[in-house]
Structure 1
C-alpha cells in the first residue's frame, strides 16, 4: 500500500537500495541474471487504468443524459421522449399499488384514503428536464399548460390542447395530476391522441395517490405545480371549470395562481365548441385572458323604447362564457317612455344563465335632470362622461345604439379580435395598437354623411373562375361609427382630452374655424361622433370593420324604428318623401334613399370560426384594405400623408400652433393626451 502512493522518483530510489543489498550465498553480490517476465506490473499502471475507465464512464453518462434541444432551440419544438413504460420506475400496476417498495408499516393495503406521508413525484423529473428547448426558465415564453385531475376533464381538455398545438404558436403541455393509475400512453390512446398531436405530457401524480388523503392530494397538486412552474413558467393554465373536476385539484390550482399570479382559464361546461377560437391565440394573448374588461354603454333616445327593449333582450341571450360579466350602463333621456320604464323594472343584469355566485348587480341607469334639449357640446360631454377606464390598457367600452340587435356570438368575436389585434406578439411587434381606434360589430351600408358605401372585397383564392371571384373581407376605415363599436380604453381617454381641449379652444377663438364648425357626419349619428372623426383624421387612427359574411353573425342595425339623437330631435323630418308630380330625378333619389335603408339580417347561429374567413384565423392588419374617412381606398403611405397634412392644419387653425416653429419648441406627443395639438391651452 505504501508503494501505491509513492512517486516514480521514490520508487526508483527504493529499487536501488534493493540492488546494493548483499546476498549471503554469493559473497554479498546480487545475481546478474533474473527473469523479467516474472516481474509483476507496477501498481501505478493499475491506478491509471482505473482512472481512465472512471472518466470514460462519466463522459458516457453525461452525454447520454443531455436533453436533445436541436440546432435552434429558440425556434424548434423540444424533442420529448416518453419514459420507457416497461421500466419499474414509471410503470403503475393496475392494482393501484405504488410502484416503489417501501417499508412503512402504517401504510394499508386497503383502498381507504388514509395515507398522509411525504410527497414524491417519481415520473415528473424526466419530462421537465426534457423541455429546456421551450425556454421555460424565462418568465415570458410560449408555454401553455393544460392540467386535469379527473379523467373526464382530461377528455374535455385534450381536443382543445391538440387544436392549439396544431397552430404552432405555442408549446402546449398537458399535466395529469390524478388519483388514477392509468398509464399516460393509455390515456393518449383512449382519447384518440396520436403522434400527430404535438402535446408534451407530464405525469405529475404523486406516489400512493390511490390511498392518499384529500389534504395530501391537494398538497401534491400544489407542489407539482410549483415544480412545473420552475421549469416551465406557463403563460396560462387551462383547467376544466365544471363540476367534473376534483375538489382538491381546483383548490390547489387556485392557490397556486394566487401565489404566482399566473393566468388561470377555467373552461365552462360544454364550452369546447363555443371557445374553439381560443386555440388560435398565442401565449402573449392568452396571458391577458382574464386581465381585460369590457363595459357596455347604451345612449337611449326618446321614443325608441321598442329598439331599446329588443337590444336588451338580445344582450341577455348572448354567450359570455369567454369573459367576466360586462357592466351595463344605460343613459336615459329626461322623458322616459312608459314601455321602457315597465321593462326596466323587471330587467335583470347579468342575465340568469350567466354564472354569478355573488348575485351582484352590474347595471347602472343614468337619468338626465334638465328638461330642455341639450346642445351638441352638452350632449357630447354628457355621453363621454358616462365611462372612464380604470386601467387604460385593459378597460374598454362597447357603445351600442338602440337600433342595434346583437347575436349570441358577438362577445366571443370582440374577445377574439381584442386579444389578437391588441395583445398578441404580432400586434406588439408591428405596433397595431398605436393605430387601432376600435372594433366594429357591423358592416355599414352608408357613409357617415348618408351617401352610399361599397365595402371593399378580395379575390377568392379558392375560386375556380380564372378571373377570380370576389369575397367579403374585413377592412380598416378611418370613419368611426356609433351603432355597435368597441373603443379601446387608451383611445377613449385620448378622446376625452381631445374633446375637452377642442371645446376650450372654441370658446377662446374669435372666429370658429371651419374644422370645428363644419359637419361631416349626418344627424342620424350623435354629435360626439364628430369629435371622434376629427381625432381619427388627425392621428391616422382606424377602426376594424368585419366582412359582410362575418357581420351577419354579429349584429344588425334596424332602421324601421330609428330616431334622431336627442340633440337633433327637434328637427322634424318630412312626413312624405314623395310628393305629387315629382320628377323622374326626384323619384330616383327617393328610391336610392329607400334602398339605403335596407339592413343586414342576422344569420342563423353558427360557431364563430365558421363565420370567419381565412379558415377561422383573423387576417393580419397589414393584409387588410385601408379606406379614408370618406370611403376611398388608399394605402399606408397615403394614409400617413393625409393624417400629417390634417394634423398640421388642425394645429394651426384650431390649436393656435406655429407650424414653422423650431423642432425643439414643438410639443411632444404624450400618451393618452391630445395636448400636443393645442398650443394655446395648458
Structure 2
C-alpha cells in the first residue's frame, strides 16, 4: 500500500548514483503510470462491500415501532426485568375448547364483529400501569383485601356487567374494579358515557388493552388477557373475578380467563345473560362472601316415607326446574322407604340429576338412592340415627345439608336464596366480626303455620322498628325446621355427637329423667327434630326464618297428602290426609325480600325462644345457661365443673360428664 499512496525519495537517489557513462537518449513522449491490477481489484471489492452493507441496513430499518412515551412505564413480559417475581411463577396459558355454564347456541347477531387481525407482535400495555399504581390504598398488595374485579372483552358484555358493578360499588362494601380487555379501541370515557356510568357508581376502571388491540390476532388477544390478569393480580389480588359467560362474550377471552384465574386461586363467577334480574343479589355481597363463592357446598337430602309417591315426584320435578346458574349443582340423596310403589319406581328410572339444562361438563351423576330394608317397626331413635347418618360434611365450615320433606315443593329461586343467605350470614366480614355463624343453626325456606306442638297457630313477628309500622321481616327462632331448611355443617357434626351421647345415656340408664323423656315436638314431625331442639336450647342456637312474603317465593309445604313420619305412622292413622293447597309466587328473589333486597343484620331481627315468646339476646343466653345446667345434672351426670369444662365443645362432651372417652 505504501508504493501506491507515497513517493519513494530514497528510490530516486539510488537511481542517480548508478547512471551509465554514456548518456541515454531522452524520450520526447510521456507514458501514463500503470497501477498493478491486483491493487485495483482490492479497492473495488472494499467499495462494493461497504455499499452492500449500507444498502442492507437501509432496507431493514424497522417501520412499525411506536414512539415510546417515556413519561410513564410500559409493561413488557413481567413487572420488573424479564422474569416474574419468584413468588408468582409465570403462567403458561393453554387454550382449550370453550366450556362453561349457560352455553346456548349463539345467534348470528350476538357476537361482536371481529376486526381484521394480523398483528402478532409482543404485548405492551400502555395504560394499565397508571391505574394499577393508583390503587395502593385498596390493600391490593395483600392476599386478603376488599377488591372485586369485573372484566369484559366484548362491549356487549361490558354493557351487561357495568350496571351490576355500579350497584355493587354503590353498596360501599367492597372496592369494585372494572377491567376492559376489548379488541375495540373505544375510549374509556365513551365506554362510561354510553353505559350511564358516573362518579356515583364507585368503580375503579382499568384499561387492560394492549397496543394494536384492534389488529391483534386471536392468539395475541388471548395472551394479552392472560398477561393483563397476571399484572392485575400482582397489584390488586382480587378476592373474586366476575365475567359474562353468555354468547355475547368472546370465546378466546373466556378461555384465557378460566386458565389464568384458576392459577390465581380465586373464584371465577360466570354470569348468565339474565344475571341483572335473576342474580342481582350478588351485588349485595361483600368481598369476603364472594371469596367463598366456590368453597360453599350444599347437598340435598330428601327423606321419603311410605305412601308418598305423589309428593316425592312433585318435589323432584321442582328440583329439576330449579335455577343453578353460576352455581355448582348440589349432590342429591333420596332416602326411599322399604316399599317403593310402581309410580315412584318408574319415575326414578328416567330421573336425571343433575338436570339436563344444568351445566355439568364432566357428566357426573350426582344422585344417590338409598332403599331401606324391611323391619317390623322403626323406633324413633332408630329413625333419628338413620337420618343423621345420611350426611356428613367434608368441610364443616363450608359443607352444609339442605333437609327436604317429601311434602315440600321448591321455587326455582330457592337455591339462590340459600346461597345468598349462607354467604352473608356465615362468611361476610360482618358475620366474621360479630360471630353470627356461631349461633346460626339453620336457614329455613318455609314459614311454619303452627308451633312445634302442631296445635297452636304461629304468628310471625313484625319488624322491630315502628317506621313503617307492621312491616314483615325475617326473624330468628330457636325452633328448628324439618320441612325445608339448610343446616350448617359444623352444627350437623355437633348434633350427630349429641344424639350419639343421648342414645348411649338411654341404654345405660334405667330411670330416665323427664327432661330426657318429655316431648315438646309433635309426632307430626320426625323424631330427630326433638333432639335438634334440645341442642338448640342448650347452646342458644337459632334458625333463620324468612318473612311471609319471601317464604311464599321459596317453598310450599303441601298438607293435602300428608303422611305421618314412619316411626309414628301407627300412632297417627287418622291424620293421613288433610285439606289445603298452596301455590308458589313467581317474583324475582330481590323483589320478594324487604328493604330492596338487602339482608337484615341479626341484631335488627326479632328473636324468639323455642316456644315463640319474643326475647332479647341477653335473656336468650340466660335461658340457655339455665337449661344447660339442668341438662348436665339430669342427663349428663355433671356436678360442679371448672370454667374450662364449661366451654361448649363440638363433641358435646361438656354436656355429658359421666361418659369416659
TM-score range, shorter chain: 0.7 to 0.9
Structure 2 counterpart of 1:50: none
Range 181-190 or range 241-250, more displaced:
241-250
1:27-46 deviation digits (Å, cap 9, x = unpaired): xxxxxxxxxxxxxxxxxxxx
1:509-558 deviation digits (Å, cap 9, x = unpaired): 22112122111111110011111011101101000001111111111111
How many Å separate the matches in 2 of 1:270 and 1:471? Answer: 30
Structure 2 counterpart of 1:276: 280
2:228 pairs with 1:250: no
Aligned length: 550
How many Å separate the matches in 2 of 1:551 and 1:281? Answer: 21
Range 223-232 or range 277-286, more displaced:
223-232
Following superposition, the deviation at residue 462 of structure 1 comes to: 5.9
Following superposition, the deviation at residue 460 of structure 1 comes to: 7.2
Following superposition, the deviation at residue 116 of structure 1 comes to: 2.7
Q: Which runs of 5+ in 2 are unaligned?
A: 1-68, 73-114
SS in 2 for 1:515: helix
Following superposition, the deviation at residue 569 of structure 1 comes to: 1.3
Structure 2 counterpart of 1:520: 520
How many Å separate the matches in 1 of 2:178 and 2:321? Answer: 34
Structure 2 counterpart of 1:538: 538
2:587 pairs with 1:606: yes
Q: 2:462 aligns with which of 451, 457, 465?
A: 457
Q: 2:415 aligns with which of 404, 411, 414?
A: 411
Does the CA contact (< 8 Å) of 1:556 and 1:599 recur in 2? Answer: no
Structure 2 counterpart of 1:631: 612
Does the CA contact (< 8 Å) of 2:564 and 2:572 recur in 1? Answer: no
| Change beyond 3 A, Cα 1:259–1:459 | closer
| Change beyond 3 A, Cα 1:209–1:89 | farther
Structure 2 counterpart of 1:372: 376
1:245-288 deviation digits (Å, cap 9, x = unpaired): 22322222122222220121111232221000110110000111
| Change beyond 3 A, Cα 1:573–1:555 | same
2:637 pairs with 1:656: yes
Q: Given the two structures, how large is their TM-score scaled by the length of structure 2? A: 0.80
Structure 2 counterpart of 1:14: none
| Change beyond 3 A, Cα 1:441–1:112 | closer
Q: 1:673 aligns with which of 639, 644, 651?
A: 651
Structure 2 counterpart of 1:78: none
Structure 1 counterpart of 2:482: 482
Structure 2 counterpart of 1:554: 554
Q: 1:615 aligns with which of 596, 599, 607?
A: 596
SS in 2 for 1:511: coil
How many Å separate the matches in 1 of 2:401 and 2:477? Answer: 19
**Structure with the greater alpha carbon radius of gyration:** 2
Q: 1:397 aligns with which of 388, 401, 406?
A: 401
Does the CA contact (< 8 Å) of 2:525 and 2:564 recur in 1? Answer: yes
| Change beyond 3 A, Cα 1:563–1:188 | same
Structure 1 counterpart of 2:109: none
Does the CA contact (< 8 Å) of 2:562 and 2:576 recur in 1? Answer: no
Q: Given the two structures, how large is their TM-score scaled by the length of structure 1? A: 0.78
How many Å separate the matches in 2 of 1:156 and 1:406? Answer: 29
Q: Which runs of 5+ in 1 are unaligned?
A: 1-86, 91-110, 578-593
SS in 2 for 1:358: coil
Does the CA contact (< 8 Å) of 1:221 and 1:253 recur in 2? Answer: yes
How many Å separate the matches in 1 of 2:581 and 2:553? Answer: 13
SS in 1 for 2:463: strand
Pairs within 5 Å for 1:6-21: none
How many Å separate the matches in 2 of 1:459 and 1:650? Answer: 32
Following superposition, the deviation at residue 669 of structure 1 comes to: 3.3
| Change beyond 3 A, Cα 1:359–1:663 | closer
Does the CA contact (< 8 Å) of 1:379 and 1:567 recur in 2? Answer: yes
How many Å separate the matches in 1 of 2:402 and 2:562? Answer: 20
| Change beyond 3 A, Cα 1:169–1:313 | same
How many Å separate the matches in 2 of 1:541 and 1:575? Answer: 31
Does the CA contact (< 8 Å) of 1:144 and 1:235 recur in 2? Answer: yes
1:201-224 deviation digits (Å, cap 9, x = unpaired): 100111122232333222221111
How many Å separate the matches in 2 of 1:162 and 1:647? Answer: 49
How many Å separate the matches in 1 of 2:274 and 2:397? Answer: 31
Following superposition, the deviation at residue 459 of structure 1 comes to: 6.4
Does the CA contact (< 8 Å) of 1:322 and 1:412 recur in 2? Answer: no
How many Å separate the matches in 1 of 2:426 and 2:464? Answer: 27
Q: 2:237 aligns with which of 233, 240, 244?
A: 233
How many Å separate the matches in 2 of 1:645 and 1:134? Answer: 47
| Change beyond 3 A, Cα 1:370–1:490 | same
Structure 2 counterpart of 1:563: 563
Does the CA contact (< 8 Å) of 2:464 and 2:605 recur in 1? Answer: no
Does the CA contact (< 8 Å) of 2:464 and 2:604 recur in 1? Answer: no
SS in 2 for 1:244: coil
Structure 2 counterpart of 1:16: none
Q: 2:142 aligns with which of 132, 135, 138?
A: 138
Pairs within 5 Å for 1:302-341: 302-341=306-345
Does the CA contact (< 8 Å) of 2:563 and 2:576 recur in 1? Answer: no
Does the CA contact (< 8 Å) of 1:163 and 1:279 recur in 2? Answer: yes
Does the CA contact (< 8 Å) of 2:444 and 2:486 recur in 1? Answer: yes
Query: What value does the CA root-mean-square deviation take over the aligned residues?
Result: 2.1
Following superposition, the deviation at residue 406 of structure 1 comes to: 1.1
How many Å separate the matches in 2 of 1:348 and 1:214? Answer: 38
How many Å separate the matches in 1 of 2:575 and 2:492? Answer: 38
Following superposition, the deviation at residue 639 of structure 1 comes to: 0.4
Following superposition, the deviation at residue 119 of structure 1 comes to: 1.6
Structure 2 counterpart of 1:585: none
Does the CA contact (< 8 Å) of 2:564 and 2:576 recur in 1? Answer: no
